[in-house]
Structure 1
C-alpha cells in the first residue's frame, strides 16, 4: 500500500539512502543505479522490479564479500590482508612470530595505528587499545568474517580520528587448525560451507594453553599481548550446548576475582551500555548459556574463566576481557553480523570511555600492589539470582534408530520466563604473597615463559646461600586420562618449610612488585588451579631416585636413632598408635630412612622458592 503522501515520500527516503551509501562507500556506479531505482520506484513499480532484480544480481558485488555463508582459508585470509595493507595506509599487518606450523606465522592486523611499527605499538600501550582474537577454534570462524567486515568499513570511511582507540585483531591464531578444512567437524553447527578444525597441529586445544604454554602459538600470543598491553580483549567463539532464541551471548570474568575498579567498569558501565545499544539493532545480548542441569530451565551458571583460557589469562593483567559466543544453530551470516555489531558497539563504547578505561586499569594495578594474599580456588556458590530467559520448550522424543528417548527443543514453542542464575563465587583458599620467587636456572622452560611475558627478573652472578621457603609436595592425585597432553594434578597438599638453600650463579630472582604479579602467583603457587605444578612441570621431582635394601639399612638403624633421640621417640609413638605400622618392617625402615641423612633432599621439593 502506498503512503498517503504518495510515491514522492518513498523517493525522498531512497534518495537519502543513496546519499548515505555515496558518502560511506564512494561507489559512484552503485549510487547512480540506486538513484535510478528510486526514480523508477516512484514512477513505475513494474519497472522497479526489473531494475531491483538487476541491482541484486550485479550490484551487491561492490559490498563486503564476507557477509555470505563462506569463510576464508588461511591462505585466502592472509592474501587479502596483505592486499589491504598494501593499498591502505590505515591498515598495518605484522608477522608477529611462530605458529604451530613451520613457516606460517601468526599475524596481527592493526587499524588506526601510526603507520610505523614502533610508533603503533607505543600508541597502543600508552593509549586505549583493543585486541580481538580469532580462530583459536578455527571451526568457529565468525570473528574472522566480522573483523574483515569491520576492516573494509574502516578503510572506506571519509575520515578517521587518530585519537580513537587502536583496533588490533589476530586474524587466525590457530594456524594448524585453519589448514584442516571441512564441512563436517562441527556436527552441531549451521555453516559456513567450510571451516577449520578445533585442534592445532599438535592436536592441542589452544584455549587451554595460556598457562602451560605447550605451543609456539602461546609464546607468540604473549609477545603480541604485552607489546600492545590492550585495555580490552575479545576472544571470538561459537557455542555448543542448548538451543535457545539468542544469537549473541557473552562471557565476562568472575566478578569476585576482579579488581574492584575493573569489576565496576565491566558490570556497572560497559555491559549495560552494550546491552542497550545492541537491543536497538535487534540483538539481545545475553550471558553465555551454561546450564546447571540438562536444560536451561534448571538455571544457568557463570562460566569460571580460569587463566588457562584466553579470557581468564588476559584478566590476570587487569584487561577488560570478554568472550563472544554466538549460537551454533543460527545461520552463519546472522552470527557474523551479531559478532560484527558487538565489536562495533564495543569500539564505540571504548571511544567514549577512554579516560575511564585507563583510570580503572591504573586503579587495578594499585589495588594489585596492595594485596598481601592471593585468593584462589574460586568456587561457585548455590546463591542464586534470577534472569529473564528466551528459550524453547524442551521435550523427550523417541529415537527411531536407538529406540530410546532423547532431548529435543521444540522451536514452534518459544517461551520467555525467569530462570535461576548462579553467578556468585567465593575463594576457598588464600596464600601469603612473597616478595620474591627464586627459580633454579636449569628450569629453562619456565625462564622462557617468563621472558615471553616480559617478566622482570635478575640472574644471580655468584653462588650464595639464602633463607627461603621451600615448597614440598606431601600429597596429590593425578587424572587417570590425559587432558590436553597432561595428567593434571589435583587434591594437592604442599608444605612450606623455611630452610637455608644454596643457590647457584644463573638462578633467577623474580620480584613480585611488578606488572604481571597475578600471573606469577598463578604460575608458582602450586595449589592454584593452573599452576605449573598442576600442569606437570615438576613431575620429575615427584619420584625418588635412590632406595635401600632392608638387610643393609637395618644395620644403620641403631646409629640413626642414637644420634637423634627425638626421632626415636617419634618412632616409638608411631609404633604404639599405628598397628599396621608396627607389623610392617618395610614401613618402619622407610620411616627411618625418610628421616635420616640418607634420604634425598630433592624428593618432592619444587625448584621454586619464596623469599620474604
Structure 2
C-alpha cells in the first residue's frame, strides 16, 4: 500500500486521501485506531490516529504519550506525508514501541488543507498544497490561548485527555538559505521546570541530534537570526503560550517545532520529517521512565510553586555558539529595482561556529494568590479553563469576600488587528483591597493545581498571552455612566470647596500640566473620578485574587 506521495514524490496527499489512508490502517491492524475528536471550523471532523502495541488507546501513567501534530499550516505538508508512511511502516513491521502511545493528528487545519493551491512562492514543491489560514482565515498556531477556532477547542480537549509528555509540531521554514534540510526549535528551556529543562537540553536533544546525524540529517537550531544573515548569529525562539509548543509547556510537556528547509527538494524534506519523528519516538521508548518521572516531578513542583513568570526577554549577555552549515551571502544589483539585493551563493558552502543566543530571563513575574474568584458572568473564560483541565469550585451560597482587585491603568493596542484582535501589551495595573459581593454559582480557582502555569499566565492581565491581552475583558474598559458638565459644574465647585485635599490635588495638577489647566472638561472629569458617583467597575479587572 503506497501513499500518494510515494506514487509521485512531488505530490502531497489531499484531505480525503489522508483520512482514507488512516481508515484503512485502522481496519487492517488491531494496534491502530482512528477517532474523531471534535469538529473544525469548516464542518469536517478533526481526527486523531492512535498507535498502541498493547491495543490500549488511552493515556496511562506507566507509558509515555508522544503527540505529533501535522498540517497546522497545510502549505507545509511534509509531516502529513511522513506520518502516513511512518504509521504504516511501524504497523507492517510490527515495530511499535512497547511503552509509548503514539498519537498523530493527521491534518489539524482541515479548512486550510481543503483550500489547495500554490500560495507559497518561496517553496520548492510539492505541486499543490493547502493554505496557511483556516476556514476563518485564522493562523491556528496563534490560537492556543484565545481558542477561537473549533479546531483549537477540539485539540485542547484531546490534549487534556492525553496529557502528553512529548510533543512534535511539523512545519516548513521560510527565510535564509543554508545547507541544512532540517532545523528545529525546542520548547524555550527557561520557561520549563528545571527537571524538564535540564533533561531536555542536556540529554534528550543531544541524543536526537546524534541520531539525526547518523541518518544523514545534521540539524541546527531554527534559523531565527539577529542580522541580515545567519552568520550574524542565531536567536532562540520565545514560544509564548499562543503557539503550540508554548501551550504544551504550560502543562509540563516539552516539545519540538520541526522546520524543514523550504527550498530543498520535497522528497528530502519528507524524509527528514520521517527521520525526526521516528527518532523522537525511539528516544521516548528508550527513556520512558525518566520522561514520566520528570513530568510527575514537575507537576508536583508546580502545585507548590509560588512565583510565576509572565513575560520573558532575551539575555544578550550570554552567548553560546553552534555549528552551522551555510552558504556565503553577498549582495548584487537587483534585476527588478536596480538596487542592492541579498543572495546566497550555493557554490560557496561553509561549515563554522556561529553565535547562538538562547537564554531568556523573566521580564515580569507574579506571586500566585491562594485562589482566583471568577464571577459566573464570564462564561467564555470559565469554559476555557474547564476545557483545559482546570478545577473550578462553584460558590454554594452568596458570599461577601475581601479580595485584591486590579485596576487597569495603562496598556497599548496596535492600529491594525493581529489574528482578529487588538492585542494588549504593556499592561499596567494598580491594586485595591475591596470587600465585594459574590453570588452562588461564581467560581473559585484554587492555585494548588498541576495546571497552575496555565491558570496564572491566562488570568493575570500582565501576561503576554493572558485573556485580558486577547480582549476577553474589553467591556470593562468602557465607562457606562457620565456627567453633564453644565450640571456637574455646581456639584464640582461644592466638592472642591468642602474638601481642601481635593482642592490641593486639583491645583497641583493644574500647575504641573498646562494642557490640563487649559481644559475645563479635563478638570471636571478629574474631580468626578474622585467622587462616589464615579463607577467602581470602570477599568476594574473582573478576576479577583483571594489572598
Same fold by TM-score greater than 0.5: yes
Contact map agreement 2:386 2:392 (CA 8 A) in 1 = no
Q: CA deviation at 1:309?
A: 0.2
Could you say which residue in structure 2 is the equivalent of 1:23? none
Look up the SS of the partner of 1:120 in the other structure: coil
Could you say which residue in structure 2 is the equivalent of 1:93? 34
1:147 aligns with 2:83: yes
User: d(CA) in 2 for partners of 1:524 and 1:78?
Assistant: 38
Could you say which residue in structure 2 is the equivalent of 1:106? 46
Contact map agreement 2:408 2:540 (CA 8 A) in 1 = yes
Indicate how the Cα distance of structure 1 residues 563 and 442 shifts in structure 2: closer, same or farther if over 3 A, else same: farther
Look up the SS of the partner of 1:135 in the other structure: coil
1:263 aligns with 2:197: yes
Q: CA deviation at 1:180?
A: 0.5
Q: Matches of residues 58-457 of structure 1 in structure 2 within 5 Å? A: 66-67=5-6, 68-102=9-43, 104-112=44-52, 115=55, 119-123=56-60, 126-158=62-94, 160=96, 163-182=98-117, 184-383=118-317, 384-457=319-392
Higher relative contact order (CA 8 A, sep 6+): 2
User: d(CA) in 2 for partners of 1:519 and 1:494?
Assistant: 20
Look up the SS of the partner of 2:303 in the other structure: helix
Q: CA deviation at 1:567?
A: 3.1
Indicate how the Cα distance of structure 1 residues 65 and 582 shifts in structure 2: closer, same or farther if over 3 A, else same: closer
Q: Which moved more, 1:460-469 or 1:336-345?
A: 460-469
TM score, norm. by length of structure 1:
0.86
TM score, norm. by length of structure 2:
0.96
> How far does the alpha carbon of each residue in 1:311-359 deviate from its partner, in whole angstroms, 9 at most, with x for none?
1100111102111111101111111111111111111111111110011
Contact map agreement 1:64 1:152 (CA 8 A) in 2 = no
Within the candidate set 497, 502, 525, 2:437 is matched to 502
Q: CA deviation at 1:238?
A: 0.3
Indicate how the Cα distance of structure 1 residues 358 and 581 shifts in structure 2: closer, same or farther if over 3 A, else same: same
Indicate how the Cα distance of structure 1 residues 158 and 445 shifts in structure 2: closer, same or farther if over 3 A, else same: closer
Q: CA deviation at 1:537?
A: 1.1
Q: Which moved more, 1:366-375 or 1:555-564?
A: 555-564
- Structure with the higher helix share, 1 or 2: 1
Look up the SS of the partner of 2:382 in the other structure: helix
User: d(CA) in 2 for partners of 1:138 and 1:580?
Assistant: 54
Indicate how the Cα distance of structure 1 residues 254 and 159 shifts in structure 2: closer, same or farther if over 3 A, else same: closer
Look up the SS of the partner of 1:418 in the other structure: strand
Q: CA deviation at 1:564?
A: 5.0
> How far does the alpha carbon of each residue in 1:82-121 deviate from its partner, in whole angstroms, 9 at most, with x for none?
111111111100000011112x110000001654xxx522
Q: CA deviation at 1:478?
A: 0.6
User: d(CA) in 2 for partners of 1:242 and 1:514?
Assistant: 43
Q: Which moved more, 1:445-454 or 1:314-323?
A: 445-454
Could you say which residue in structure 2 is the equivalent of 1:16? none
User: d(CA) in 1 for partners of 2:405 and 2:328?
Assistant: 56
User: d(CA) in 2 for partners of 1:461 and 1:158?
Assistant: 54
Look up the SS of the partner of 2:180 in the other structure: coil
User: d(CA) in 2 for partners of 1:402 and 1:148?
Assistant: 44
User: d(CA) in 2 for partners of 1:559 and 1:129?
Assistant: 70
1:606 aligns with 2:546: no
Contact map agreement 1:66 1:148 (CA 8 A) in 2 = no
> How far does the alpha carbon of each residue in 1:138-195 deviate from its partner, in whole angstroms, 9 at most, with x for none?
000111111111111111124656x32010110111011011011x211111111221
In structure 1, stretches of 5+ residues that fail to align are 1-61
Contact map agreement 2:3 2:13 (CA 8 A) in 1 = no
Q: CA deviation at 1:305?
A: 0.7
Q: Matches of residues 474-513 of structure 1 in structure 2 within 5 Å? A: 474-513=409-448
| Higher Cα Rg, which structure | 1
Q: CA deviation at 1:520?
A: 1.0
User: d(CA) in 2 for partners of 1:352 and 1:406?
Assistant: 48
